[in-house]
Amino acid sequence: MRKAFTVCFPTEQGEEHDDDDGDHLDDPELWHDLTLEDQETVGAAMAKTQRLQCFAHTLQLVVKDGLSETKVASPSLSKLSKLSSLLHTSTTFKDVFEAEFGEQKAIPAAVITRWNSTLRQVKAVLQCEHLKLCAVLEMAGHKELLFTTREWNLLKEMVDILKPFGEATDLTQGEKIVTISAVVPSVLSLNHHLEKLKPQVRFLNGLVRSLQASLNKRFLGIFISVRMARAEDGITAPFSDPVYLKAAALDPAFSLLWVEHHVLGSCDIKAEVTQKVKDLILQDAADPAKSEQPVTPGEEHQEDSEDGGLFAAYCKRQKKDVGKSPALQLSHYLDIADGQSALLFWVMNMQTLPSLFHVATRVLAVPACSAPVERVFSYGGIILQPHRVQMTDRLLANLVFCKCNAE
């Protein structure tokens, strides 16, 4: 912990360290040494801090809720877990398995903290032919792990249900792509996906209902924002921050198409949601404190000429270009947004859409989940091994930086 503290808050170069200073880091009086001005600055910064929930973690809780409420799938998943464990612990069974399916075929082990590892495990088993797998298990003397036809079809149905959840999880855990914009379209698309599956599933009706109930509960703020749920007085619903709506609309890959396709409501409700999102964006674009636009050299020269000079008031001021108003920029953006990459799109249109560009750069920079930060801690743990504890704080920080930013 002391190492993490000194890495996060490095001291000035040349400053000598006392080995006993770290023993007093937990002293509450240590944090009262700030001046009154610094205390006000820190207090104001902390007051403005907004904490957004991790999308990937919340989605994992949704799947966990669904699977825990679905007892019919427990026997199949239990056999699957034992089969994977047997394949990784028994060399005899592994030889028989590889002789039938090849050395490249494997069943990955599930990770308890990553639900999509279970999905990959199910997919890997289903890639094996059912009859051949039963023959291998029977030959190896593990008849208790044989999958019945019903259990095999149940696993197939489970993959069809959970596959979009896996896509949404992978989509929002990237490091060098925009992720916050995919939250609203993913949640609404998953809800639409579950709604369509209700009359189609044969074995896992309970799983579909549990997933949809948990999805509506844990992402209640999004459903309230799109008029698919009602708000409760005095309760702040999760994922109710308007940044999610603005980010989805300002990503040309989604624009406002998610309103038309996945907001389950009347045309009036869809029009109301569309107007609400537009108003949120225009409010940010019109706020001078948030959208400070840089002055071009020509404009700077013009302002100088207007401020100074004996007859500066005689000069006619140029009319503002109506095409630069935020409302017209938003209308033009919605016309040209057609599935482009968000990063490339805003780099190419930063001059033609200046007001929206400032809003987009601020909104789209928010990560959807904490996975990239967790990877940084993992890199630090890999680098700082027990036999390297004498590594200096600066060297550790530089190595972590290089590791995280390496191509």
Residues 348, 407: one domain? no
- In a domain? residue 20: no
State in Å, rounded, how far the first CA of the chain is from the last one: 29
Tens of pLDDT, residues 28-61 = 555 556 677 766 776 666 565 567 888 988 999 9
Q: Of the candidates 135, 134, 154, 130, which has an alpha carbon nearest to the alpha carbon of residue 146?
A: 134
396 belongs to a structural domain: yes
Q: Are residues 396 and 350 in the same domain?
A: no
User: Does residue 195 fall inside a structural domain?
Assistant: yes
Domain match, 199 and 272 both: no
Q: Is 20 helix (H, G, I), strand (E, B) or coil?
A: coil
14 within domain boundaries: no
Q: Are residues 271 and 169 in the same domain?
A: no
295 and 377: one domain?
no
Could you tell me if 206 and 282 lie in one domain?
Answer: no
pLDDT value at residue 287: 67
State whether 147 and 285 are in the same domain: no
**Same domain as 86, residue 65:** yes
Shared-domain flag, residues 76 and 146: yes
Please give the average per-residue pLDDT across 337-345, as a whole number. 88
- Mean pLDDT, rounded, of the chain: 80
Residue 131's identity, in one-letter code, is L
Contact present, 249 and 255 (Cβ < 8 Å)? yes
Q: Both 384 and 247 in a single domain?
A: no
In a domain, 49, yes or no: no
137 and 85 co-located in one domain: yes
Radius of gyration of the chain (CA): 28
**pLDDT tens digits, one per residue of 59-80:** 999 998 888 888 888 888 889 8
Classify residue 39: in a domain, yes or no.
Answer: no
- Does residue 292 fall inside a structural domain? yes
**66 neighbors 209 (Cβ within 8 angstroms):** no
- State residue 313 phi and psi, 5-degree precision: -70, -15
How far is Cα 131 from Cα 139, in angstroms, rounded to an integer? 12
The answer to whether residue 123 sits within a structural domain is yes
Number of domains in the chain: 3
Separation of alpha carbons 219 and 189, rounded Å = 13
Residue 267 CA, chain-centre distance (Å), reads 29
Q: 168 pLDDT exceeds 80? A: yes
Give CA–CA dist 63/85, Å, rounded.
22
Q: What is the amino acid identity at position 52?
A: L
Cβ atoms 177, 130 nearer than 8 A: no
Residue range(s) defining the domain that contains residue 96: 55-177+191-217
Task: Report pLDDT digits (tens) over 280-331.
Answer: 999 988 865 554 444 444 444 444 444 555 555 545 443 444 457 888 888 9
Residue 404: other Cβ atoms inside 10 A: 13
Closest C-alpha among 161, 72, 162, 150 to residue 117: 162
| Residues 195, 264 within the same domain | no
